[in-house]
Amino acid sequence: MITSSIATILSVPLGLLLFLVFIALAVLAGVVIQFGARLRYLASPVYDRIVKEAEEKAKEIMLDAQREARTVKEHAAAEAEKAFADRSKVDEEMRKEQSKHIEMLTAHAQELLNKQTVTISQLSETMASDFSQQARAAGKALEDETAEMKKTIAAETDHMKETFAKMAVKVDEDYHELVAQTRKKMEEELDNEVNSAREAVKAYRIERISLLNKEIVGLVEDTARLALRRSLSLDQHRDIIIAALEEAKQQGLFSKNV
């Protein structure tokens, strides 16, 4: 299977092959970087260090790969120029060289990949181990923190209960005081209103009774006026008229100076 693969690879043009290797290395580097980023996102700063190391290693690998790729490319270009002059022979030689180089690249890439695989697996194991440790530490820290928070919350709750209790007492006291003040004020207002009403009624009664008495006197006067005119005889009227004339004379009404 590997032989068929190699044969397949060897049949592919050199530039394309180099490009594919380059892409593979770039993908690998990207995977490593992403893996590192994910670890960094998920883990503690310890992971950052490990990931950073992995990234640096990946970068070095990538640079190596790039250098290798450039070298290969330059070499391939030179060879292509050489081959371009003498096509057939060069083709054959080129092909051989290409095969050789491809084998070399393949081996080198394989070696690199193997190395990275080992490194990554080592890193993965290290990182997993560290992650486990960190996870356990974080879990413990979280538990401690949770217990501490529970203690604090309990203490705060007790404090709040105490505060609310005091507030309730204060509110109750204030309420009773307000009720007492309001009651007192209402009683005062009612007393004032009642007194004002009594004074008004008293004044009204005095006025009305005075008016009523005047009306009674007026009524009696009118009745007497009518009764006297009808009940007195002509002789009595005459006597009263003459008595009035006498009174007028005594008052000096008929004196010469008037």
Partner 1 sequence: MNDTRLTTLVEHTYSRADFAYRIGVLKEFLSFMFFTAHESHVTKEVVDAFEKEKHPVEDVAFLRSLPGTFFEGLTQESFNEELTHLSEAAQKLPTLSLTIPIMLDDENRAAVWAWVRKELGHDVMLDISSDTDVSVGCQIVWHDQLHDFGFDHYLAVNREKVEESIARVVPRAPLFGHL
Interface with partner 1 (CB under 8 A): 198, 201-202, 205-206, 209, 212-213, 216-217, 220-221, 224-226, 228-229, 232, 234-235, 237-238, 240-245, 247-249, 253-254, 258
* CB 243 to partner 1: min, Å: 8
* CB 253 to partner 1: min, Å: 6
Distances (CA, A) of 80 to 19, 21, 106, 205, 221: 16, 19, 20, 137, 157
Query: Between 77 and 224, whose beta carbon lies closer to partner 1?
Result: 224
* CB 223 to partner 1: min, Å: 11
Beta-carbon count within 10 A of 30 CB: 12
Query: Between 191 and 221, whose beta carbon lies closer to partner 1?
Result: 221
Taking the chain, what is the end-to-end CA distance rounded to the nearest angstrom? Answer: 171
Which strand (E) or helix (H) includes residue 62? helix 45-85
Helices (H) and strands (E) in the chain — how many of each? 5, 0
Query: Between 8 and 255, whose beta carbon lies closer to partner 1?
Result: 255
Beta-carbon count within 10 A of 29 CB: 21
* CB 238 to partner 1: min, Å: 4
Query: Between 11 and 223, whose beta carbon lies closer to partner 1?
Result: 223
For tokens 């391939």, name the residue. Answer: 76
Query: Between 27 and 206, whose beta carbon lies closer to partner 1?
Result: 206
* CB 175 to partner 1: min, Å: 38
DSSP of 119-132: HHHHHHHHHHHHHH
